[in-house]
């Protein structure tokens, strides 16, 4: 089995703002386009325009209609992007029998060495977030790399040295940086907005964080009215508990 490296001083990851994500899938499409010819290439597809399409996608966006504490639908849909969390304690690494799945000490990024991967899928079974992708055509596992071929590419302008999904988000819902640095923009966003881990009770310590959606005005009786204590979607309790329960199935 594969061991984890000594934790370094840098933990690169994403912060995703669920309050402003519109579910446009631009992040997923640009991720697919970049990685089709990048470090994780190729990202193969099977029957993409047929009745039973299948393929490799590192970013997947789920949409949920949110209810308030009264059990009523408030007419709000929350879009929930999900990819590899680049966890501090990832079982997907420790279960790998060949060392193909590994975690980098210098920045905390979790990667797959396709030359060592035997396609046993143990890592995908160990990942509670469903972030591992099996490429049936190549016979290996693939996953989000945080676009290491972009973020360390000195031929790019410094502003462009971020993952492809971050560059393409039209509303600025995705942020990238060092979560281990409390002075970084991403760390301050997490602190200011009560950013949270997905399923923290599992102990994986995901690097990626989510910023909860803010309460919004509700519409009742044809008249706009501000939410009161009875029908506010509480981002720190009900919604997060529901998401946690959903992904724990």
Structure tokens at 117: 């991967």
The residues facing 112 across adjacent strands are 101
- Residue 1: pLDDT above 80? no
211: left (phi over 0), alpha (psi -120 to 50) or beta: beta
Task: Report the alpha-carbon distance of residue 78 to residue 102 in Å, rounded.
Answer: 33
Q: What are phi and psi of 74, to 5 degrees?
A: -90, 10
- pLDDT computed for residue 233 by the predictor: 44
What does the pLDDT read at residue 135? 94
pLDDT tens per residue, range 119-170: 999 999 999 999 999 999 999 999 999 999 999 999 999 999 999 999 999 9
- Burial of 106 (C-beta count, 10 Å sphere; 0-12/13-18/19+): exposed
For position 179, what pLDDT does the model report? 97
**Could you give all domains of the chain from N- to C-terminal order, each with its CATH number?**
12-247 (3.30.70.20)
Indicate whether 227 pLDDT > 80: no
Residue 246 backbone phi and psi in degrees, to 5: -60, -50
pLDDT on residue 216: 67
pLDDT at 75 over 70: no
Q: Two tokens at 191? A: 């602190």
What is each CA distance from 9 to 12, 144, 199, 223, 233, in whole angstroms?
10, 21, 24, 52, 36
Question: Are 185 and 179 within 8 A, CB to CB?
Answer: no
15, 209 contact by CB (below 8 A): yes
Q: What is the pTM of this model?
A: 0.83
CA distance 163 to 32: 12
Mean pLDDT of 44-72: 83
Q: Indicate the Cα dihedral angle 225, 230, 236, 242, nearest 10°.
A: -110
Residue 232 clears pLDDT 50, i.e. is over it: no
- Cα separation, 197 vs 205, whole angstroms: 7
């Amino acid at each position: 089995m594969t061991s984890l490296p000594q934790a370094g001083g840098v933990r690169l990851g994403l912060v995703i703002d669920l309050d402003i994500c519109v579910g446009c899938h631009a992040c997923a499409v640009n991720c697919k386009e970049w990685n089709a010819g990048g470090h994780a290439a190729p990202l193969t597809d099977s029957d993409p325009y047929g009745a039973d399409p299948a393929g490799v996608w590192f970013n997947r966006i789920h949409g949920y209609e949110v209810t308030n504490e009264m059990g009523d639908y408030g007419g709000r849909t929350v879009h929930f992007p999900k990819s590899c969390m680049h966890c501090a304690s990832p079982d997907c690494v420790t279960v790998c029998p060949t060392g193909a799945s590994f975690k980098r000490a210098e920045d905390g990024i979790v990667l797959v060495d396709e030359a060592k991967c035997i396609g046993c899928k143990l890592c995908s079974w160990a990942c509670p977030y469903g972030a591992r992708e099996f490429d049936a055509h190549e016979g290996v596992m693939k996953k989000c790399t945080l676009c290491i071929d972009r973020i360390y590419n000195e031929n790019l302008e410094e502003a462009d040295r971020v993952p492809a999904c971050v560059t393409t988000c039209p509303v600025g819902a995705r942020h990238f940086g060092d979560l281990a640095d409390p002075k970084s923009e991403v760390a301050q966003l997490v602190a200011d907005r009560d950013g949270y881990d997905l399923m923290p009770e599992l102990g994986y310590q995901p690097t990626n964080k989510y910023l909860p959606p803010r309460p919004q005005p509700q519409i009742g009786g044809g008249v706009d009215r501000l939410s009161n204590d009875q029908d506010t979607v509480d981002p720190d309790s009900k919604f997060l508990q529901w998401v946690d329960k959903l992904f724990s199935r």
